[in-house]
Structure 1
Amino acid sequence: MDKLRAMQVFVRIVEANSFTKAAETLGLPRAALTATIKNLEAYLGTMLLQRTTRRLALTPDGADYHAQCVQILDAVAASEQAFRGATAAPRGTLRIDLPDALGRHVILPDIAGFAKAWPELALTLSFSDRLVDLTQEGIDCALRVGALQDSSLVGRQVGSMRFVTCAAPAYLALHGTPRSIDDLRSHQGIVHFSGRTGRPFDWDFIVDGAVVKAQVPGRIAVNNADANVACALQGLGITQAACYQVRGHLERGELVELLADTPPAPMPVSLLYPRGRMAAPKLRVFAEWITALLARDPGLAPLTTERTGARP
C-alpha cells in the first residue's frame, strides 16, 4: 500500500465529506477510494470513518489520524517546494471561484494571458457571490472582497477595492446635488443587499481619517453589483459602486461623482485557500498573477487602510 497516497485519499474524503465528491476531484473511481480506505483501516487496525447512507463521520481514532495526516502532507508539500519551487511548472487543474462582477469585468479580460503563460495548467472558473466551501466542493482558491470569516482558510490580501458615490445627471437634475453626507437623508439611494444574508451593505465615508456610516433611504433594492450600477444609470437613485465598474460611465458623463472629499472606505480583496496549499505551483503562480493584475488598476491596487464589511 502506498501510505502517502492513502493519506491523501483519506484527507480528501474528509474534506469533501463524500466518497463520490472526493473521487471526482481526484479523478479516480469511487470504488478505488473505498478500497484504499478499507486497506488503510485494516493496516492501522482501527476504523477511521463511520459510514451511513447520508453522511460520513470521523471516529475518535479517525479524527486523530486526520490531524496527523494533514500535518504530514503539509510538511511533504513544503519540503518538495523548497527543492522544486523555482523550477516546478504548474500542471493539472486549478479550480477558482470568483466574485461575479469582479470576475467578469477584471479577471476574464486578462485570463487568456495567464492561460498562455502556463499551457500545462487547466482552469475551471466559477462565478458566484455565495459562501463556497472550498474543501467540500474541491475548489483550490476563491477571490473575495471584504472581511474574512472562515478561520479554517488562509487569506492572502492581493488588492484593495475602492468605491465611489455617484448618480446619473438625470437624477441630479430632478433632486439636486447633495453637498454633504447629511444631505443624503433627503435623497434616494440604490439599496445594494447581500445575496447571502439579505442585509443591505453599509453606506460609509472617510471623514478626517475615520469611517462614518450614513443612512440613505431607498425604494429600489438589488443584490447584484451590475444591477446596482444599471439602476443608477437609469436615474433611480444615488449609489456607491466599485471604481472599476463605473470608471467608464464617469468619464463619459453618464454618472457624476458625489462627495469626492469624503470617499467610501476601501475593502480588502483576498485570495482564500486551504492551509498548506500555497506550496502547490499552480496556486502560487495564480496568486502572483492576480496580485500583479489588480496592482495595475488604480481602483484595485493594495492600500493599507480597509473597512471590513464584505461585498461581492
Structure 2
Amino acid sequence: MDQFSAIRAFMRIVETGSLSKAAMSLEMPKSTVSKLLADLESYLGAKLLQRSTRSVALTVEGATYYEHVGQVMLSLQDADLSVRESSATPRGRVRIDVPSSLANTLVIPALTEFRALYPDIQLVIGISDRPVALIEEAVDCVLRVGHLPDTSLIAKTIYEDRLVTCASPAYLASRGLPVTPEELRQGHEIIGYFSALTGEARPLLFKNGNKIVEISDANLLSNDSTGQRSMILSGLGIGQQFRSTVISHLKTGALVSVLDDWTDYTAPISILYPSSKKLTLRVRVFIDWLTDRLRRSYNDDQI
C-alpha cells in the first residue's frame, strides 16, 4: 500500500465530503480513491468513514486519525516548500476566481504588471459572481466583496469599499435628480442585483444618521455586477455599485453619484484561501501582489 497516497485520499474525501469530489480534485478514478481508502482502513484495522450514497462522515477513530495526520501532512508540506522555495523562481499554475466587476475594472487591467514580474506563473482566472468551493474546484484563492459568513477559509481584507448610488447624465437630464430615497422609489427606474446562487434580490441600501431605508422595487435586475453597471451606464436607471468599480466613470462624468447624503454603507474587499493547506510560493506571491496592487489603486483613486 502507498500509505502517503492513501492518507492524501482520505483527507481529501473528508475535505470535499464525497469520494466523487475527492477523485475529481485528485484527478484520479473514483475506484482508485475508494481502494486507497479501503487499503488504509484495512492497514489500520479501523473504519475511518461511514459512507452512504449521498455523504460521508468521520467515525470516532476517523476523526482522531484525521486530526493527527493533518498535522503531519502540514509539517511535511512546510518541509518540502522550505527546501523547494529557498532558491526557487515562482512558476506553475495559479487558479483564482474574481467577481466580474472587480475582474474587469481592477484585476485584468493590472495583469501586465504581474506578468512582467512573474512570467513563469500561469494564471487561470474564473470570472463570476457565484460562490466557489475552493477545495472541490481546485481554486487557490478568490477575491470577494462583502461581509463573509463563518468559514474555514482565511480571509485577508484588502480595503473597505463604499457603495455609490449613481446614474448616467442622460438619465438624470430626462428624469430629474432624486434627493431622498422616497423620491427614488416613487419616480425613477431602479436597476437592481440578484444572487446567482439563491435568486434573491439585493435591496438598495440607504442610511442617513439613524434613519435606514431599503428599496427592493427594481425595474431591471441582473445577477452579474458588470451587467448591472452596463445598464446604469446605458441610461436605463439608477443603481448602486461599489465605488472602486465605477470610480473611472465618475471621474470622466459618464456616471454621476446621487443621494450621497444617504449612501453610507461600506463592505470589505477580501482575498480568501483555504486554511487547511500550505500556500505554494506561486500562490503566495500572487496574493501579496494583488493585495498591494489593489491597495495602491485604492489610495491613488482616494476610493
- TM value normalised by structure 1: 0.80
| Contact 1:93 1:124 (8 Å CA) reproduced | yes
Q: Tell me the residue number matched to 2:202.
A: 201
Q: CA offset at residue 145 of structure 1?
A: 0.7
Which amino acid in the other structure matches residue 291 of structure 2? T
Q: Tell me the residue number matched to 1:192.
A: 193
Residues 69 and 187 of structure 1, relative CA distance in 2, 3 Å threshold: farther
Deviations 1:39-83 (A, max 9, x none): 322321223245566554444322332232223323444566677
SS in 1 for 2:298: coil
Residues 290 and 176 of structure 1, relative CA distance in 2, 3 Å threshold: same
Q: CA offset at residue 300 of structure 1?
A: 9.8
Q: CA offset at residue 211 of structure 1?
A: 8.1
Does residue 242 of the first structure (1) align with residue 239 of the second (2)? no
Q: Tell me the residue number matched to 1:42.
A: 42
| Contact 2:77 2:278 (8 Å CA) reproduced | no
Residues 190 and 160 of structure 1, relative CA distance in 2, 3 Å threshold: same
Which amino acid in the other structure matches residue 12 of structure 2? R
Q: Tell me the residue number matched to 2:294.
A: 294
Question: What CA distance in whole angstroms lies between the structure 1 residues aligned with 2:20 and 2:145?
Answer: 31
Question: What CA distance in whole angstroms lies between the structure 1 residues aligned with 2:137 and 2:113?
Answer: 26
Question: What CA distance in whole angstroms lies between the structure 2 residues aligned with 1:214 and 1:50?
Answer: 46
Residues 33 and 116 of structure 1, relative CA distance in 2, 3 Å threshold: farther
| Contact 1:98 1:126 (8 Å CA) reproduced | yes
Q: CA offset at residue 182 of structure 1?
A: 4.5
Which amino acid in the other structure matches residue 256 of structure 2? V
Q: Tell me the residue number matched to 1:117.
A: 117
Q: Tell me the residue number matched to 1:310.
A: none
Q: Tell me the residue number matched to 1:72.
A: 72
After superposition, where does 1:49-198 map in structure 2 within 5 Å?
A: 49-50=49-50, 55-78=55-78, 87=87, 89-188=89-188, 189-198=190-199
| Contact 2:208 2:264 (8 Å CA) reproduced | no
Question: What CA distance in whole angstroms lies between the structure 1 residues aligned with 2:292 and 2:107?
Answer: 12
Tell me how many residue pairs correspond in the alignment.
302
Q: CA offset at residue 84 of structure 1?
A: 7.0
Question: What CA distance in whole angstroms lies between the structure 2 residues aligned with 1:231 and 1:92?
Answer: 38
Which amino acid in the other structure matches residue 221 of structure 1? L
SS in 2 for 1:162: strand
Residues 53 and 179 of structure 1, relative CA distance in 2, 3 Å threshold: closer
Q: Tell me the residue number matched to 2:7.
A: 7
SS in 2 for 1:15: helix
Question: What CA distance in whole angstroms lies between the structure 1 residues aligned with 2:77 and 2:302?
Answer: 29
Question: What CA distance in whole angstroms lies between the structure 1 residues aligned with 2:261 and 2:138?
Answer: 44
Two-structure CA RMSD over aligned residues (Å): 3.3
Which amino acid in the other structure matches residue 294 of structure 1? L
Deviations 1:232-264 (A, max 9, x none): 233322111122433343334332221334444
Q: CA offset at residue 294 of structure 1?
A: 0.8
Q: CA offset at residue 190 of structure 1?
A: 1.3
Q: Tell me the residue number matched to 2:285.
A: 285
Unpaired segments ≥5 residues, structure 1? 304-312
SS in 2 for 1:237: coil
Deviations 1:183-202 (A, max 9, x none): 33333221222222333323
Which amino acid in the other structure matches residue 70 of structure 1? G
Question: What CA distance in whole angstroms lies between the structure 1 residues aligned with 2:211 and 2:43?
Answer: 59
Question: What CA distance in whole angstroms lies between the structure 2 residues aligned with 1:278 and 1:265?
Answer: 35
Instruction: Determine what percentage of the aligned residue pairs are the same residue.
Output: 36
Q: CA offset at residue 103 of structure 1?
A: 1.9
Residues 296 and 211 of structure 1, relative CA distance in 2, 3 Å threshold: farther
Unpaired segments ≥5 residues, structure 2? none
Deviations 1:212-237 (A, max 9, x none): 43436432222221222222233322
Q: CA offset at residue 152 of structure 1?
A: 1.9
| Contact 1:211 1:265 (8 Å CA) reproduced | no
Question: What CA distance in whole angstroms lies between the structure 2 residues aligned with 1:156 and 1:211?
Answer: 31
Question: What CA distance in whole angstroms lies between the structure 2 residues aligned with 1:183 and 1:254?
Answer: 23
| Contact 1:232 1:239 (8 Å CA) reproduced | yes
- TM value normalised by structure 2: 0.82
Deviations 1:280-311 (A, max 9, x none): 323321210110121122389999xxxxxxxx
